[in-house]
Structure 1
Amino acid sequence: MKYALLVTRSTLVSKRFLILVVVLNASRNVLVCVLLAKHNTNAPRFSKKVLVISAFFVSAVFSLSPALASTLPAFQASSSASASYVSAARLNCKPKGKQQALHQPKVIDGDTLYGNGQKIRLIGINTPELGYDNSPSEPFALAAKQEAKRWLEQSSKHLFFVKGKQQRDRYGRMLAYIVNEQGELLSKHLLLKGLGFYIAVPPNTELLPCFIAAEQGARNNRQNIWRELSPTTTGNVSQPGFQLVLGKVTSVIITDNHWWVILGKDIALKIQKADQPFFDVEWVKKLKNTTLEVRGWLIDRQRKRRKLPKHYARWLVLVRHPAVIQLKKPSNRVY
């Protein structure tokens, strides 16, 4: 059985050891393993030997439902003890649903194509935007388009699409996975090449662990986008659109309708009521004073108002799933 790393959390429990909690997504359930990893290179010889040979791999194993697992936030371990992602290239990322033949596909950009008489938006990925009306293209936008075209041409004559649980986006485009005869996914291929970012938009999240692992592999290897990209820090956002942003949480506001997480003074993360079942409210509350990397589409609220109220952050990000949040500097407590 193959697993993809979905979540890592870490906490310092002594000067010698770090407990690393790893959540692995399987085909029907989620395995939670508590690993004991060496934190201090000056640990006693016996402890070092035992850790290297056996790693004391499982001290507790629990079984969780996929629904519960989907609510867990995606953390990135930050210590000398790190979790290794299973090679995304070997993961079985097969979408559920009926496969239908895809006829005469034409690539529009890296994550959108035309086929079967309609526009199709790939699920699980966002690629850099091509420039239109004399506006410049984002870095690697053309490379993503060319790689998508090459993959479609070389995969085989038999291409298929599988519709998502949500079948249309707000622009009327079909939301689907594109699959070749070998069962390979176009979204996963582009993520492995470092030509896009995984996104998590419920309810189309069934292959999220696969896409996270694919991106992490490209990120670790500094492929294409990841050779140069660094998240935009709070206070330095200058334009709307999809971005990775990095900032410290200055406040968390829980209301009856929406939950708000404020980064610095100028970025507000909004969790709408419809998406709150994917989150643990206690975890959200404890984000205050942590540093987060968040991905999503930044909306400039100043454009819609002549004057923005003083307590309003200028930039708004709708956060629909906890997987788009990564805790960059975990505190020394377990969440």
Structure 2
Amino acid sequence: MLPAVLVAVLAASGGCAAETEATGDCAPPAGLSSERATVAYVNDGDTVRLTSGDRVRLVGIDTPELGRDGSPDEPYAREAQQALRALLAESENRVAVVDASEGEDRYGRRLSYLYLPDGRSVQAQLLEQGVAMAVFIAPNLELADCLTARERAAREADRGIWSLPAYDPGLPSARGIPDTVQGAAIVQGRVKSVGHSRNNVWINLEGRVALKIDRDKREHFPGWDFDALEGTRLRARGWVVHHSNRYQDWMIPVDTAHALERLD
């Protein structure tokens, strides 16, 4: 059941409440604020600007990056941008904006879920088309299960980005992370060691790539025994940070088990 405030917003923007409830398309969790809005400009596949001037980052997904300062576009970056434009055009750019638990990023953008007037999740639609990957950053994990399922359908069909080895099976950590990688990435490799510091658990993959898990987020990894992972192969996703020290050259913060897969 959608929150009453979102049903009202969707109805006011031309949608039908009964239609919305019937879709069940990654419906927003109760308790999140929402508003009716109109998109003025599509920056790329996961960022828009509203007519109010607010910049909105679509939370829960990441799309390939458009080239800047002379660098080329990542594969499927233009397709992601066009897919988002096409979705929004269906409703003349009218949407419901549902702000996530942590509603703003370090760039001052709103972190939000977008819904079309008929109740469809914009994030879910982009995932199903294979032009986005799901990403998970606490505390904005409200739709992690649903978005993962939407991505899985595209992945099993080798649709869009999932036809590329950089996404499936993912970048091999043994070769390091290419300088061309921007934003989020999927990395796979064997665990060389597991370390513990005061605040974090460090899962060190071959190739000097480390996964950082905040001890305060341990509840997001039910059933995982990190110390038992040494020697196993993992696939992880998240934002890559260049972080060179005696142990690593790249670091990926991992906030939830949704971002980890055992490969053997």
Which of 36, 46, 66 aligns to 1:101? It is 36
Q: Deviations over 1:58-96 (max 9, x none)?
A: xxxxxxxxxxxxxxxxxxxxxxxxxxxxxxxx7531113
Distance (Å, rounded) in 1 between the aligned partners of 2:93 and 2:199: 49
- Aligned to 2:225, the other structure's residue is in SS state helix
Alpha carbon RMSD of aligned pairs, Å? 2.0
Q: Deviations over 1:296-324 (max 9, x none)?
A: 1222224xxxxx43xx1111111111110
- Aligned to 1:286, the other structure's residue is in SS state helix
The correspondence of residues 61-80 of structure 1 with structure 2, limited to 5 A, is none
Give the corresponding residue for 1:264: 206
Which of 310, 314, 319 aligns to 2:254? It is 319
Question: Counterpart amino acid of 1:192?
Answer: E
Which of 125, 146, 149 aligns to 2:61? It is 125
Give the corresponding residue for 1:235: 174
Distance (Å, rounded) in 1 between the aligned partners of 2:187 and 2:259: 11
The answer to whether 1:292 aligns with 2:237 is no
Q: CA deviation at 1:228?
A: 2.3
Q: Contact (CA 8 Å) 2:61, 2:135: kept in 1 or not? A: yes
- Aligned to 2:187, the other structure's residue is in SS state strand
Inter-CA distance 123–114: structure 2 relative to 1 (3 Å threshold) = same
Q: CA deviation at 1:99?
A: 2.8
Inter-CA distance 328–208: structure 2 relative to 1 (3 Å threshold) = same
Which residues of structure 2 form unaligned runs of 5+? 3-22
Which of 172, 178, 187 aligns to 2:108? It is 172
Q: TM-score, normalised by structure 2?
A: 0.83
Give the corresponding residue for 2:25: 92
Q: Deviations over 1:85-139 (max 9, x none)?
A: xxxxx75311132331112431000000001211100011000000011111100
Which residues of structure 1 form unaligned runs of 5+? 2-26, 28-89, 303-307, 330-335
Inter-CA distance 281–171: structure 2 relative to 1 (3 Å threshold) = farther
Give the corresponding residue for 1:57: none
Distance (Å, rounded) in 1 between the aligned partners of 2:194 and 2:134: 25
Question: Counterpart amino acid of 2:193?
Answer: S
Distance (Å, rounded) in 2 between the aligned partners of 1:322 and 1:206: 14
Q: Contact (CA 8 Å) 1:197, 1:215: kept in 2 or not? A: yes
Q: Contact (CA 8 Å) 1:91, 1:210: kept in 2 or not? A: no
The answer to whether 1:218 aligns with 2:165 is no
Q: CA deviation at 1:193?
A: 0.3
Q: TM-score, normalised by structure 1?
A: 0.66
Q: Contact (CA 8 Å) 2:88, 2:94: kept in 1 or not? A: no
Q: Contact (CA 8 Å) 2:40, 2:93: kept in 1 or not? A: no
Distance (Å, rounded) in 2 between the aligned partners of 1:255 and 1:301: 16
Could you say which structure has the larger radius of gyration? 1
Distance (Å, rounded) in 2 between the aligned partners of 1:283 and 1:210: 25
Q: Contact (CA 8 Å) 1:156, 1:180: kept in 2 or not? A: no
Distance (Å, rounded) in 2 between the aligned partners of 1:107 and 1:249: 40
Give the corresponding residue for 1:279: 221
Give the corresponding residue for 1:189: 125
Give the corresponding residue for 1:255: 197
Distance (Å, rounded) in 1 between the aligned partners of 2:123 and 2:213: 26
Distance (Å, rounded) in 2 between the aligned partners of 1:268 and 1:176: 29
Question: Counterpart amino acid of 2:81?
Answer: K
User: Which moved further from structure 2: 210-219 or 235-244?
Assistant: 235-244
